[in-house]
A and B are shown apart, each in its own frame.
Chain A
């Protein structure tokens, strides 16, 4: 068998033997070793409850919001070799470098402008000109500028679901993150809005690295460069997306991909 050259990619982040335990003691992740490549989209697939969202949320320490959750192992962020799970690394520092887009569009009940500007305000930016510029840039980056430039001070709730989700992407983008996490970002959207978001992600990866959880295998096949299949908290297989979907090396992966299971 010809070994595919996939390791000429630059690794942006990597989990090393990552275990995760919820407060009630259940182990949701079991020794996950997985790289996230720079300027690539890595998709996490697997049946409900396989731990893919748990894995994703470890990357910005979301689990720290709830007492009793516990990580073991490391997630190393390059090039500075920071283990972002270490106790002495403040979760806020991690969230300033790695941003997240959630499953359900969750804009703040504030204006469109304030939603995008919030991440910058949190970082102490007060200069109106800088804020204006960065808000515009982020909205353009999320291909929403054309639709909202005339009504930046309207309430975000007045936007459609797809627009709200792109607003959330703009909010996550405004702070120039190194990695963006997407947790099933299109599961609450209609097909057209879904296509918009997928095109957007392919555009975004030129600037940053993307880790996405999706329950939609076609979506993973369409947009991702690498795919990881997880099952019951374990990483079953990780490879180039083409390889996973055409010629997976594990039987379990094949069963899941072909719909025999899951």
Chain B
């Protein structure tokens, strides 16, 4: 009995050739992408390792618990990391509520017209303004006009200005990612705008918002120019008054008015010394800053991952 066989397609060979050609484009793109990513990663790793090994002799408890000193080997970054932490605390407390509020307002409440367009363009542009400009603004506004002095408060506010556009933009992006049908569902049961914002918009977008906050903080921690502009000290051998006290009311705000220094300024200061020993210190601070930034970014990625796992649209 003759078995009927399906006729082979005439140009099967040509189809295969075509697929092969198209796949070559896949390969070329993947290779280019791989090269770019690899070169970026390798640059960062080399930079970090260089700093790390240069500064290696200085790593130890003493480095974190000593004040700067005229003798490089005794110098530490106590005042710098405490100063950085306090400045970032102010920055966080100012930029996060303001930034989220502004983002939510622009996205949920503001009428879409030429004014809101103008604000949108402005906010996006602010994210790209060189940081020294913020320093000059802060010097004129906070230091001279508001008379806040060359203090932690001034530095915190300045860095908050720098961070605000990042928080606003990421808040708006995160809110826009909420699907229309979820938003409509909330309105359809009779929720007001504020209930929708509080119960839905912010909870569903907080992964994206937090990412923006942490990226903003990571930028703020490394900023040098604006902090120098407002007159941060470069050599400082005391700590600001502690924000937490033993007596009622347990908190005091004197630290806000204190002089201070921050990690990148400490690094800048040491690197401008002629002695080689201080360059070792500078490398060590540099490594510390990179590690801190990496930890914060890692934290952001983890948070985003946790939120994504819970919310699938």
Interface residues in chain A, defined as those with a beta carbon under 8 Å from any beta carbon in chain B: 60, 62, 65, 67, 92, 95-96, 99-100, 102, 104, 106-109, 118-119, 121-123, 155, 157, 168, 171-172, 175
Docked pose: A175 CA to B310 CA in angstroms:
27
B189–A171 touching, CB < 8 Å: yes
B310 close to A155 (CB less than 8 A): yes
B residues less than 8 Å from A157 (CB atoms):
311-312
Contact residues of B between 113 and 162, Cβ < 8 Å to A = none
* Complex contacts, B310 vs chain A, CB 8 Å: 109, 155
Which residues on B sit within 8 Å (CB–CB) of A62? 184, 187-188
Query: How far is A100 from B191 in the complex, measured between Cα atoms in Å?
Result: 13
Q: Among the listed B179, B187, B312, which residue makes an inter-chain contact with A65, where contact means beta carbons less than 8 Å apart?
A: B187
Instruction: Identify which of A67, A92, A102, A175 contacts B185 (C-beta below 8 A).
Output: A102
Which residues of A sit under 8 angstroms from B111, Cβ to Cβ? 67
B101 at the interface (CB under 8 A from A): no
Give the CA-CA distance A109 to B207 in the complex, in Å.
Answer: 13
Interface residues on B, range: 20 to 34
Other than the known A102-B185, A122-B191, what 8 A-B pairs have Cβ atoms closer than 8 Å? Answer: A62-B188, A92-B190, A95-B187, A107-B185, A108-B186, A118-B186, A122-B190, A123-B190
Please determine whether B312 and A95 come into contact, CB atoms closer than 8 angstroms.
no
Comparing B192-200, B231-239, B288-296, the segment that makes contact with chain A is B192-200
Which of A92, A95, A106, A172 counts the most chain B CB atoms within 10 A? A106
Q: Does B10 contact A (CB under 8 A)?
A: no
Decide: A102 and B191 in contact? CB cutoff 8 A. no
Cα A168 to Cα B183 with chains together (Å): 14
Listed by A's residue number, 26 A-B pairs whose Cβ atoms lie within 8 Å are A62-B184, A65-B187, A67-B111, A92-B191, A92-B192, A95-B189, A95-B190, A96-B190, A99-B188, A106-B179, A108-B186, A109-B182, A109-B310, A118-B186, A118-B189, A118-B199, A122-B191, A122-B195, A123-B190, A155-B310, A157-B311, A157-B312, A168-B185, A171-B189, A172-B189, A175-B190
With A109-B311, A118-B199, A155-B310 known to touch, is A102 a contact of B190 (CB < 8 Å)? Answer: no
The closest CB in chain A to the CB of B199 belongs to: A118
Give A65's nearest chain B residue, CB to CB: B187
Q: Which residues of B contact A104 (CB under 8 A)?
A: 181
| A residues less than 8 Å from B195 (CB atoms) | 122
Which B positions have Cβ atoms within 8 angstroms of A?
111-112, 179, 181-192, 195, 199-200, 204, 310-312
Chief secondary structure at chain B's binding surface: helix
Chain B residues with CB under 8 Å of A100's CB are: 188
Bound form: Cα–Cα A153–B204 in Å: 18
Among A65, A67, A99, A109, contact of B189 (Cβ-Cβ < 8 Å): A99
- Chain A residues near B199: list those with CB within 8 A: 118, 121
Which residues on the B side are within 8 Å of A119 (C-beta)? Answer: 189-190
State in angstroms the CA–CA spacing of A172 and B189 once bound together.
7
Give the docked Cα–Cα distance between A121 and B199 (Å). 10
Contact indicator B182/A108 (Cβ below 8 Å) = yes
CB B106 to nearest CB in A, in angstroms, measures 15
Give the CA-CA distance A209 to B291 in the complex, in Å.
63
Contacts of B187 in A (CB 8 A): 62, 65, 95
Closest to A155 in B: B310
Shortest Cβ gap from A168 to chain B (Å): 7
Question: Within 8 Å CB of A123, what residues of B?
Answer: 190
- B181 partner, pick from A102, A118, A121, A171, beta carbons under 8 A: A102
Chain A residues, Cβ within 8 Å of B182: 106, 108-109
Q: How far is the CA of A62 from the CA of B185 in the complex (A)?
A: 10
The 3 A-B pairs at the shortest CB distance, nearest first, are namely A119-B189, A96-B190, A95-B190
Q: Which of B112, B184, B189, B204 contacts A122 (CB 8 A)?
A: B189
Residues of B within 8 A of A102 (CB): 181, 184-185, 188
Whether B204 and A109, one on each chain, are in contact in the complex, defined by CB atoms closer than 8 angstroms, is: yes
Task: Report the separation of the CA atoms of residues A99 and B190 in the bound assembly, to the nearest whole angstrom.
Answer: 8
B95 to chain A, nearest CB (A): 27
Q: Which residues of A are found within 8 Å of B185, using beta-carbon distances?
A: 102, 106-108, 168, 171
Question: What residues of B have a CB within 8 angstroms of the CB of A107 in the complex?
Answer: 185
Q: How far is the CA of A99 from the CA of B183 in the complex (A)?
A: 15
Task: Assess whether A106 is in contact with B192, with CB atoms less than 8 Å apart.
Answer: no
Q: How far is the CA of A108 from the CA of B184 in the complex (A)?
A: 11
Within the complex, the shortest CB–CB distance from A7 to chain B, in Å, comes to: 31
Chain A residue at smallest Cβ distance from B179: A106
User: Smallest CB–CB gap between A196 and chain B, Å?
Assistant: 20
By a CB distance below 8 angstroms, the chain A residues around B188 are: 60, 62, 95, 99-100, 102, 172
